[in-house]
Amino acid sequence: MLFWIAFTRFPAMKAMRAERGKSGGVSKARAGGRGQDLEGLIPDKVNWKAHNYTHLMEQPTIFYATVLILAVAGATSLDVLLAWGYVALRIVHSLWQALVNTIPIRMLIFFTATGLLIVLAVRALLVTL
């Protein structure tokens, strides 16, 4: 996803500079700014990749701890199935957000993946008791 951001943002920034001249486009972003400062300056579709990259840093920390607990405690085949289901849905969510980004479908994918993660986390909690 990081490379996808770079390969879409850099050309968009270059095109805006060429279109608006040295005083427009990305030049209006403040010095030392962050990626979110490009909101409204480059096309939304280009920014979707960055939005998804930010989202990829949220739930996976819970997922990693959960599967580590389950792996150490002895994961069942159901745990493995739930974990791979979560991973598959997160990949689908990333692709949907980066390419299409319609909210109702994205929300359905997100909540389904979150449901799997909650079930996994509860199962991990139960094996530690």
- The contacts found for 71-76 with CB under 8 angstroms, 24 or more apart, are 73/124, 73/127, 73/128, 74/127
- Residues 35 and 63 occupy one common structural domain: no
How many helices and strands (H and E) does the chain possess?
A: 5, 0
Number of domains the chain is built from: 2
- The token duo for 125 is 């909690």
Q: How many CB atoms lie within 10 A of CB 28?
A: 14
Residue 21 located in a structural domain: yes
Q: What is the pLDDT of residue 80?
A: 97
What is the sign, positive or negative, of the torsion defined by CA atoms of 63, 123, 120, 80? positive
- Residues 21 and 69 occupy one common structural domain: no
- Residues 62 and 108 occupy one common structural domain: yes
State the average pLDDT over residues 40-49: 74
- Residues 33 and 62 occupy one common structural domain: no
pLDDT in tens, 88-129: 999 999 899 888 989 899 899 999 999 999 999 999 999 999
87: containing domain: 58-128
- Residues 23 and 64 occupy one common structural domain: no
Residue 9 located in a structural domain: yes
- Residues 115 and 78 occupy one common structural domain: yes
- Residues 26 and 72 occupy one common structural domain: no
Q: Distances from the Cα of 57 to the Cαs of 53, 54, 61, 84, in angstroms?
A: 7, 6, 7, 18
pLDDT in tens, 60-76: 889 999 999 999 999 99
- Residues 118 and 77 occupy one common structural domain: yes
